[in-house]
Structure 1
Amino acid sequence: MSGTSVISKVFWPAHACTPRMRPGFIIGWNVRSFTACVAAVVSDVELSDLEAALSTFAADTHTAFAQMSKVCAVPPIVLGVFTGRGGKRAGGKAGVPEMFKSEAVTEKKQSANLWITIEMLDNYMPSLSSIYCCGFHYPHVPTEIIFYHQPNPTHLQYLSLEPLVLDVSPDVQPAEKPPQQGGQQQQQANERDVTTLRNMQRVMSHSRKVTGGGGGKEDAGDMEIVLNQINTSYYLEKGVSALLRRARRQRRRPFSDVLFDFLSALLGRLLLWCARVLWSPLLRPALVHPIMLVLFVVRFVAEVALFLLNVRLPKWAMNGVAIKDLSTAAQQVDLRLQQACYWPWQYMLLRRRNWANMATTRAQYISMWLVANDIIIGVAVGSFLINNSTYVAASLHYYLDHYMVDSLESMIDWLMGWPAGLKLNSELDKFLGELFLWLIRMWTVCMASLRPITPTLIGLIGLSGVCGASMIFSLASDLIAFMTLHVYWFYMVAARIFNWQLTILFSLFNLFQGKKRNMLRHRIDSCDYDLDQLLLGTILFTLLTFLFPTIIVYYLTFATVKPCWCYFPPSPNGDTARLPESLSSVCHYAAIQGPREAAWYVRA
């Protein structure tokens, strides 16, 4: 390494390190000074034809490359030549193909801002053999060759400094730090992303550490530009190759065929111009305006439904919960209506955005595919439910009768004796046991009238599969919640009695301490009680204390049973239970990012 203060960086595609690579011209971008991003090596072409193809391709506004090239900072150019492996001459130098000795290549080397010559070593690794800048040769320049796997944008592969955010709402800002909470898989994914980002930043700042120079902000800016160029390299390579193949075919074709193609293209443009002239004054009002009217009506109905679903009940009814919180199906309808209102904006964003934020663009596309996957799975599950509605209904009633009726009756009969050797209050134990058994018998009679129409309900739930698998699971959860409503009643009765008794015991305990609760100041103050008050409090406290074990046994029993069910309606205190994660996560599949391996580098 010489004492020069410059260092060159060359980003090289990994698929170009194969024995099949032939000598050719290197195309890509000159990022800054001696930093270059190579997109491809083009063989069997003249320099003038390649430059013409690059100009034509970069100027075409109808290709995907035209949108992505806006964030590449500089246009693509011919960076130099790739000599391949070749043979060794007597002097020990690699043999240079004759096509690189032409006058056009020599003039380009003298006038280009950057002209590099790269040869292939015996281990199929590229090596920078010479570098020219404005005609001056820079010998013994330290070089970093950084390899990258070329992402395929058609497969939603890309490299980005920003993590993928699936929340595509316009108000969401990208997080600066990875989340500190989450599952083990999420934590491992965050660690991999942080490691990849750290490695990429270390690659870009390596030359600054070697030479002792500054430029941290410039390195960070170069990293974003280089990643955008790498993401665009696929379109550049495929597009230039297609233009060159088309140009070769044009040369081989007779003049009559070329003239025919020219006239056909001219006729097509004329017809397109006529269609545009007729579209605006005649066809557009007749087609677009009715469609816009229908969309407006649909959007209005969706907004009204969203408003009704989010209306809160009065405080005396379910403690003021929203209507959508009464059912998981209502929550799913609320979500789908929000998506329906959001999709037009999302579609226009996908059609018009300039690809400046690759992570956000891919998240927009992936979020739409998540809904499509949900609908596909929903149609499959719905078809199964429709074709097997009788069997599913019979199985559902069998398991509900076994676990929700017979097992509960056996458990209550066990509690009415001496459960686990506990001697409960006989009168209170008998009263509570008979109360719960009466509720079970009443609910069994109610469910008997529902049994004949259960297959029809299962079929209707299957038809809802056109709205997605999440809608099927939501309706199934509501159906099971309704069929197990008596279990929720048991829990609420036991919880209410337990809460009342515990509150009274706490108040009587304050009475023994000579204190009472000040409702105005929300605190406990000292108070003097009469003898009659203390005597009555002692009697009530003793009575409730002896009854408390019986109450707590029933409460703990049903409080233990409660988490076993999939879903419970909202409680009167305002708490709303929800579906378990396995059901609610049906629309939240793990998004697959682009290649995680960002880059590795070799010191030349």
Structure 2
Amino acid sequence: MHAFSIVTIGIFVAGYSTARWDLVTRLYELAIFAWDHGVVTRAAKGFAILSVFFFLLILPITRIAVQETDQHPRLVGGGISAREQLKHPLPGVLVGFKNSVSDVLVVAVLQEVELRHVENALVVGTLLRHSTYGVQELLQRCGHSSLRILGHVNPKTPSDHLDAGLITVYTEPSARLPHLYVAADTLTTAQIIIYDRPHPTRMQYLSLKPISLALGDGTADMERAVTSEELEETEGTERKRKEKLVEKLMLHKVISRPATQEELALPMLVEQVNCSHEINTLLQKNIGIIGRRMKRALSVSERVVESANGLWDQIYLVVNHVFGVWIWPTVAQVFIFGLITHRIMAEVVLRFLHWRPGPPGSPALKDISATAQQIDIRMQQSCYWPDQYLTLRKRKANWESITNSHPDYIRFYNSLWLVANDVIMGIALGTYIIENALFVAAQVDTIFNAWSVDGLRRMISWLMGWPGGLKLNTELADFLGDLFLWVIDYWAGEWTAK
């Protein structure tokens, strides 16, 4: 630091200390008091103990955690991730889709299994057992009819003795990417892309197009289309119209080129990535069946345990039968009756809000009242909720990787949250006003008088003089000022009287 700067800082400190001498004196007395009563000693001991604890315990644990994270990376909230499998030194088999001779997509890494056992299990269908829904629908969505073996991971056999048509990959815990083995006499270029599987349960998926959450853009059509069938029909018509406009727009491009093979295959690759999580889960669940022998016959003790478990199963079936035959139908009928009653009442209210008493072009009640407009929107949402819920229930009857119902899901819960938000804010605001009625009334009265009465009076009195140094017509200013002041006083008196 420059000598002049040091002198300047010293002069500033000395001048400030002189100006604040009483504060400096009190700080000095506080320091002497803390030293005499052992405050400084206790603080130093606490700091020393915390420092020893930090250096001897926290720092080693942090270093160990960092090393383990680098060797075994995991996704947040997930178990063994795909990246951890790619860094694990265990041997395994790559399973996935072979889109072309030079283009493959790895769906799963099956560790500690032999290639011939996996190949036999894929042919027989052992690895695809116990699936909740049809696997063929998921495979057809990926553009294939079956899974294929793509290669080895860390094979025990030397790489020179392996099949040349399969991929051979070696992984290391310290390496970021796997190493692809290529024969010495082969000239080839390979590109490895590591991806994280989208989690379908969390509604994660890749898409080439932005998700559409709007029901439609035609305001008049949507006003007439109150029922769900009319809404779907209007939405389909609008979608077809937009597709025709896009096709016409593509014909008017200056340069038009045919799509490449990579561009044509991109949608299928995206679907394969979206479906990879559920396919991998199914394969990992059935990996323990590979290479097992047939089960032996149950012993006497095992049969006793199985019969005891069967007794509890019988009790569960009886309770489930009673609930499904007697209780649930009654509750369902009562709920359906209430739903139909609500639908009829909502339809009557909607007809009243959309009724136009004058000619066809005259406004309806919802067009001239904000409250009526909000009631109209909430009624339409409540009428549309049952159909949306039935659509979402159909989503549970298929693979979660099929994302056709995701927009309906988001619309449904967005509308529910908006209504719940209105109710919560209304209850909170209403409760506050009721519990603090006098305070709120006093504040409203103060704000009203300050802005609408006193503020206007001050402004008009200022304008009656020479505002900003401007000399105006004194007689006219006095006349208009007195007139407006009288109007303000009269209006304030009438409002206060009411």
Tell me whether the two structures share a fold, i.e. TM-score over 0.5.
Answer: yes
Q: Which of 352, 356, 370 is residue 394 of structure 2 equivalent to?
A: 352
Q: C-alpha offsets along residues 152-208 of structure 1, whole Å, 9 cap, x if unaligned?
A: 2222221110112222564164989xxxxxxxxxxxxxxxxxxxxxxxxxxxxxxxx
Write out aligned runs for 1:127-138 (5 A).
Answer: 127-129=179-181
2:200 is aligned to: 153
1:569 is aligned to: none
Give the conservation status (yes or no) of the 8 Å contact 1:16–1:40. Answer: no
* 1:116 matches 2:163: no
2:448 is aligned to: 400
Q: Which amino acid aligns with 2:104?
A: A
1:238 is aligned to: 281
What's the offset of the Cα at 1:24?
0.6
State how far apart, in whole Å, the 2-side matches of 1:320 and 1:290 are.
41
State how far apart, in whole Å, the 2-side matches of 1:68 and 1:286 are.
38
Write out aligned runs for 1:514-529 (5 A).
Answer: none
What's the offset of the Cα at 1:99?
11
In structure 2, relative to structure 1, the CA distance for the partners of 1:76 and 1:392 (3 Å cut) is farther
Give the conservation status (yes or no) of the 8 Å contact 1:164–1:359. Answer: no
State how far apart, in whole Å, the 1-side matches of 2:139 and 2:443 are.
59
Q: Which amino acid aligns with 1:332?
A: Q
1:80 is aligned to: 150
1:97 is aligned to: 156
1:491 is aligned to: none
Write out aligned runs for 1:105-504 (5 A).
Answer: 115-120=166-171, 123-129=175-181, 140-168=187-215, 170=232, 171=235, 173=239, 216=259, 218-244=261-287, 255-256=298-299, 286=330, 288-312=332-356, 321-352=363-394, 361-374=405-418, 377=421, 381=425, 384-385=428-429, 388-389=432-433, 390=436, 391-414=439-462, 421=470, 422-423=472-473, 424=476, 430-431=482-483, 433-446=485-498
SS of equivalent to 2:153: strand
State how far apart, in whole Å, the 2-side matches of 1:99 and 1:304 are.
79
What's the offset of the Cα at 1:100?
10
Q: Structure 1-normalised TM-score? A: 0.49
State how far apart, in whole Å, the 2-side matches of 1:147 and 1:415 are.
73
Q: C-alpha offsets along residues 275-314 of structure 1, whole Å, 9 cap, x if unaligned?
A: 799969x888655444333322212222222232334575
In structure 2, relative to structure 1, the CA distance for the partners of 1:279 and 1:388 (3 Å cut) is closer
Q: C-alpha offsets along residues 374-393 of structure 1, whole Å, 9 cap, x if unaligned?
A: 46655664564355330555
State how far apart, in whole Å, the 1-side matches of 2:84 and 2:258 are.
31
In structure 2, relative to structure 1, the CA distance for the partners of 1:392 and 1:129 (3 Å cut) is farther
State how far apart, in whole Å, the 2-side matches of 1:398 and 1:248 are.
84
Q: When you count strand as a share of all residues, which structure comes out higher?
A: 1
Q: C-alpha offsets along residues 536-562 of structure 1, whole Å, 9 cap, x if unaligned?
A: xxxxxxxxxxxxxxxxxxxxxxxxxxx
State how far apart, in whole Å, the 1-side matches of 2:466 and 2:354 are.
48
State how far apart, in whole Å, the 1-side matches of 2:282 and 2:367 are.
53
Q: Which amino acid aligns with 1:236?
A: I
Q: Which of 98, 104, 114 is residue 30 of structure 1 equivalent to?
A: 98
Q: C-alpha offsets along residues 125-161 of structure 1, whole Å, 9 cap, x if unaligned?
A: 2344369xxxxxx954543322322222222221110
State how far apart, in whole Å, the 2-side matches of 1:413 and 1:321 are.
44
Q: C-alpha offsets along residues 219-242 of structure 1, whole Å, 9 cap, x if unaligned?
A: 334211111111111122223223
Q: Which amino acid aligns with 2:267?
A: E
- Tell me which of the two structures has the higher relative contact order, counting C-alpha pairs closer than 8 angstroms and 6 or more residues apart: 1
What's the offset of the Cα at 1:325?
4.5
Identity of aligned residues (%): 26
Give the conservation status (yes or no) of the 8 Å contact 1:412–1:437. Answer: no
State how far apart, in whole Å, the 1-side matches of 2:293 and 2:302 are.
7
CA RMSD in angstroms, aligned pairs only: 5.0
Deviation larger for 269-278 or 220-229: 269-278
Q: Which amino acid aligns with 1:97?
A: K
What's the offset of the Cα at 1:55?
3.1
Q: Structure 2-normalised TM-score? A: 0.57
Stretches of structure 2 that go unaligned for 5 or more consecutive residues are 1-80, 217-231, 244-256
In structure 2, relative to structure 1, the CA distance for the partners of 1:283 and 1:407 (3 Å cut) is same
State how far apart, in whole Å, the 1-side matches of 2:310 and 2:282 are.
20
Q: C-alpha offsets along residues 3-44 of structure 1, whole Å, 9 cap, x if unaligned?
A: xxxxxxxxxx96257533532111222234442211221112
Q: Which amino acid aligns with 1:241?
A: Q
State how far apart, in whole Å, the 2-side matches of 1:324 and 1:296 are.
24
1:5 is aligned to: none
In structure 2, relative to structure 1, the CA distance for the partners of 1:438 and 1:173 (3 Å cut) is farther
SS of equivalent to 2:113: coil
In structure 2, relative to structure 1, the CA distance for the partners of 1:37 and 1:288 (3 Å cut) is same
Q: Which amino acid aligns with 1:120?
A: T
State how far apart, in whole Å, the 2-side matches of 1:29 and 1:286 are.
50
Give the conservation status (yes or no) of the 8 Å contact 2:275–2:401. Answer: no
SS of equivalent to 2:170: strand
State how far apart, in whole Å, the 2-side matches of 1:266 and 1:75 are.
42
2:38 is aligned to: none
What's the offset of the Cα at 1:119?
2.8
Give the conservation status (yes or no) of the 8 Å contact 1:72–1:225. Answer: yes
Q: Which amino acid aligns with 2:169?
A: I
SS of equivalent to 2:212: coil
What's the offset of the Cα at 1:360?
5.4
Give the conservation status (yes or no) of the 8 Å contact 2:99–2:105. Answer: yes
How many correspondences in the alignment?
368
Q: Which amino acid aligns with 2:350?
A: L
